[in-house]
Homo-oligomer: A and B are copies of this chain.
Amino acid sequence: MKANGAMTIGEAAARTGVPPKTIRFYEEIGLIAPAERLENRYRSYDEADIRTLRFIHRARGLGFSLKDIAALLALYRDRKRASREVKRLALARVAELDRKIAEMTAIRNTIADLAARCHGNNRPDCPILDELEAAAP
């Protein structure tokens, strides 16, 4: 084992939760810098790379788009960043989520209402299909 913490893509994947394929993909689209290569052309990752991958993994877990994450990563690396911009991105994401949640809730209630009025038996009559069939708005 080497003195420094260099590791292969598989180990990096295991330590970050980001699958090897996804790591390569992130490299390909320029989200992360091209990895160092060993003599056998294997990619090699160090602790800084691990931190970056974990950062991305967590941000993805919060549903940020890769585009947003690119911006967040730039801010993360910028020691002189203003937290204003980070907060702006976060609040935009909250607003987006609020919109989607409201929309999905409305749809959910519509379908639940229809389903409640559907007997759900062997007979063909069904308010759900009736509603979908209804004339144009």
Instruction: Give per-residue flags for A89-111: 1 if the beta carbon is below 8 A from chain B beta carbons, else 0.
Output: 01101100110110011011011
Query: A87–B126 contact, CB under 8 A?
Result: yes
Asked whether any CB of chain B lies closer than 8 Å to the CB of A125, the reply is: yes
One of A2-10, A21-29, A32-40, A58-66 contacting the partner: A58-66
A69-126 contacts to B, CB under 8 A, are 72, 75-76, 78-84, 86-88, 90-91, 93-94, 97-98, 100-101, 104-105, 107-108, 110-112, 114-115, 118-126
Closest B residue, CB atoms, query A77: B129
Query: B132–A83 contact, CB under 8 A?
Result: no
Query: A128–B86 contact, CB under 8 A?
Result: yes
Residues of A near any B CB (own CB < 8 A): 15-17, 51, 54-55, 58-59, 61-63, 72, 75-76, 78-84, 86-88, 90-91, 93-94, 97-98, 100-101, 104-105, 107-108, 110-112, 114-115, 118-126, 128-129, 131-136
Query: What 13 additional pairs, Cβ within 8 angstroms, besides A17-B136, A101-B101?
Result: A54-B133, A54-B135, A55-B132, A62-B107, A62-B110, A72-B132, A83-B119, A83-B121, A83-B122, A83-B124, A94-B112, A98-B108, A104-B104
